[in-house]
Structure 1
Amino acid sequence: MIPDLECQSLTKSFTETTAVKGVSFSVAPGSFFSILGPSGCGKTTIMRMIAGFLEPTGGDIRIKGKSMLNVPPNKRPVNMVFQHLALFPMMNIAENIGYGLRRVGLPKAEITRKVGEVLDRVGLPGIENRKIDELSGGQKQRVAIARCMVLEPDVLLLDEPLGALDLKLRERMKIELKSLQAAFDTTFVYITHDQSEALVMSDQIAVMNEGQFEQVGTARDLYYRPQSAFVAGFVGDSNRWTGTVEQAEGNRIALRTQDGMLITSATQGGSLPTGSMAEIFLRPEAVRVAHDAADLARFDNRLSGEVSSLLFNGAASRILVRGDTGQQIEVTLPQSGEFASLAKGAPVHIGWAGEQTACFSAEP
């Protein structure tokens, strides 16, 4: 099967920096592909090269097998939703959506039909004559998508389109965007710095850092099987320690942290040598809590301490446990049972398995 989008050794250099360094990836037809990374990592540069607003320094961009090199933006089978939507306030909804159709010379009756159809598909029937400023933020998002989809692009590019929305609306629009992508069965390529957006919506995610992809995979791959310290630290919440490897055997090590704690961990990519520096990552939900230390005897790592802070956040409620040597570990609490109402200062025991951590070399 020919990918809807394929980038081969894509590179973009500017006068003093290389923003994209030989990135290669492909996007399957009808899938939701996200590029996730911090500001300045190069993800917007990739998007602008796909759209045709920037010419690559090297490599190739292929849409349905056809190279897009030297093809102007208006001749590419892509369309783009920007963060600020770029809707025309002087036009009504129908005029906004039909703008691109008028530019290609479609008859008025055909434009009216297509606008009505696409409004039905985004769940906004009968609003053709309303003004942009009469719409809610979520409705404006759907109109912006409708304006792109009415042109039937092979690939829809979305440049942080939820960034300007308030938190509640942003959470709702994540679900709506995924539903719209499935309804149109069109390939979406989405860039964001917000990991929750990428994790919720994407079939595949590329985590980008300093012009390169660190890892490409499903949300579960990135969360549970990170392949680099950057991915482990950037995707999801983690307890994080740096220290020296005191023992190493196969793919397991014992690491002495800078505050004196000894942690047993599995490693990624083979053994780390004794005496080397390493980083360990532990998800808060992987930590178990007990009143009696004997209940945690099965775990490689055990710690006694007390609750130093309560972090109530509904379903994601957590505590901070301060260990005997002063280290703090974030722990996800169960929402029912004997630990649901732990108080600040309460003594607790915690434990976790070495296989539930991610460990990487911290050598320069």
Structure 2
Amino acid sequence: MTLQDLEIQNLTKTFDAFTAVDNVSFSVPAGSFFSILGPSGCGKTTIMRMVAGFIDPTSGDIRIKGRSVLDVPPNKRPVNMVFQHLALFPMMNIADNIGYGLRRKGIAQDEITRKVGEVLERIGLPGIGQRKVNELSGGQKQRVAIARCMVLEPDVLLLDEPLGALDLKLREHMKIELKSLQAEFDTTFVYITHDQSEALVMSDQIAVMNNGRFEQVGTGQDLYYRPETAFVAGFVGDSNRWRGKVTRAEGGQLQITTEAGLTMTGSDQGRGLSVGAAADIYVRPEAIRVGRSADELSQFENTMRGTVSSILFNGAASRLIVRAENGQEIEATLPQSGEFSGISRGDALHLGWSGEQANAFAASDDFTKVFE
């Protein structure tokens, strides 16, 4: 049986008439990187603050290493927390910042000096103990904040959107750094974010949260390629999205006519949509193939002809916006080489995609909420 560092059982938190966390249960295996991903206000930070002990749950249990910590005050729980703004002390040097928690515990100075030196080595910043906080780069401050937590040897490290204040380039770099540090310390990380790329890059498991509940828990691949709800399909990754109606359902395949008049073949992956049902359909831009003629795409159940209305250049992830003859706009990944390297606005193209990659769900209000 896999050892669970953190177990959340039927956790609920209400504030007057508002339910911030609604009967959530999950477990985090020892030594893993677990992320809670969701939009602002979905309840993810409330979970984090309950685990840390800053607020009490209305009901449910929080167990660390198999023991309930509901009666344990925050300063006695075997967890530590990295905040978005890091909360380093500017009047202290780096060694004193990292050793602050050890001094509060009454550890002897010689032992503090040894532990601080060891943790600075492990985060790749040896010899900077006498420097001031304002002398460090953003990435170095991030590592020092983690070192200040890890020197206390917590069972679980909580990270509340710690990359949110960094610029884009540094944020991309720190994704790799955080994953490496988690592996180096072999400590369970529980990470809160609204940024899907952070969760997908770093996490062993991701919980997608919406309106106080978990929509789906799984690997990044599970969430991206096998979403279980319309919210997950729309929130994780980019998708073309349409609302329509099922006009045929046979042998696990659906025929769906969108509100804009586009007819396509899709699949509900066993969710049981029937003829006449309102449906939301999602197709990833990278699932759509581009051709100069219809014959090039004859293997696909879904094809259409259109005109390039816009090109969104972003290096390897560049996209085409193609306007179909019925006025429907579809986003497709732009091929980076060959005959499509010189593509321009106004070019006529054909698009094709598999019915298995048109993922259909029963129509839901989440269809619009994700994209507002």
TM-score, with length taken from structure 1: 0.99
Which string of whole-angstrom CA distances, capped at 9 and with x for unpartnered residues, describes residues 294-320 of structure 1? 111111100001111011100101111
> 1:20-49 CA deviation, whole Å, 9 max, x = no partner?
111000001100000000000000000000
> SS where residue 145 of structure 1 aligns?
helix
Residue in structure 1 matched with residue 238 of structure 2 by the alignment: 237
Separation in structure 2 between the aligned mates of residue 184 and residue 337 of structure 1, nearest angstrom: 46
Pick which of 241-250 and 18-27 moved more: 241-250
Question: Helix, strand or coil: the match of 1:338?
Answer: helix
CA apart distance, 1:333? 1.6
Q: Is contact 1:287-1:332 (8 Å) kept?
A: yes
* Corresponding residue SS for 1:128: coil
Q: How does 1:166-177 map to 2 (within 5 A)?
A: 166-177=167-178
> Contact between 1:55 and 1:70, CA under 8 Å: does it hold in 2?
no
Alpha-carbon contact 1:276-1:363 (below 8 Å) kept = no
Structure 1, residues 309-356: CA drift from partner, whole Å, max 9, x if none?
A: 011100101111110001111000222111122111101001001001
Gaps of 5+ in 1: none
Which residue of structure 2 aligns with residue 120 of structure 1?
A: 121
Q: 1:312 matched to which residue of 2?
A: 313
2:369 corresponds to: none
Judge conservation of contact 1:205–1:218 (CA < 8 Å) in 2: yes
Q: Which amino acid aligns with 1:36?
A: L
* 1:271 CA displacement: 2.8
Q: Which residue of 2 aligns with 1:92?
A: 93
Q: Secondary structure at the match of 2:54?
A: coil
Do the aligned partners of 2:271 and 2:361 also contact (CA within 8 Å) in 1?
no
Residue 83 of structure 1 aligns with which residue? Answer: 84
Query: Could you say what secondary structure the match of 2:4 adopts?
Result: coil
Please give the secondary structure, in 2, of the residue aligned with 1:84. Answer: coil
SS of 1:314's equivalent in the other structure is coil
- Aligned residue pair count: 364
Contact 1:306 1:345 in 2 (8 A): yes
After the TM superposition, which residues 1-364 of structure 1 pair with which residues of structure 2 at under 5 Å, given as runs? 1-362=2-363
Q: Residues of 2 paired with 1:221 and 1:63: CA distance?
A: 26
Instruction: State the shift of 1:363 in Å.
Output: 5.5
Q: Identity percentage over the alignment?
A: 71
Moved more, 321-330 or 242-251: 242-251
Quote how far apart the aligned CAs of 1:247 are: 1.0
What SS does the corresponding residue of 2:244 show, helix, strand or coil?
strand
- Structure 2 contact 216–232 (Cα < 8 Å) conserved: yes
Cα pair 2:280 2:364 within 8 Å, conserved: no
Q: Alpha-carbon deviations, 1:187-217, whole Å to 9, x = none?
A: 0000000000000000000000000000000
| Structure 2 CA distance for aligned equivalents of residues 245 and 302 of structure 1 | 18
1:119 is paired with a residue whose SS is: helix
Name the CA distance, whole Å, in 1 between partners of 2:354 and 2:168: 35
Task: Report the Cα distance in structure 1 between the residues aligned to 2:158 and 2:301, rounded to whole angstroms.
Answer: 46
Stretches of 4+ aligned residues off by more than 4 angstroms? none
Is contact 1:35–1:190 with CA below 8 Å preserved after alignment? yes
Q: CA RMSD in A?
A: 0.9
**SS of 1:307 mapped into structure 2:** strand
**Structure 2 CA distance for aligned equivalents of residues 270 and 97 of structure 1:** 52
The TM-score normalised by the length of structure 2 is: 0.97
Distance 1:288 1:126 in 2: 53
- In structure 2, how many angstroms separate the alpha carbons of the residues matched to 1:270 and 1:78? 40
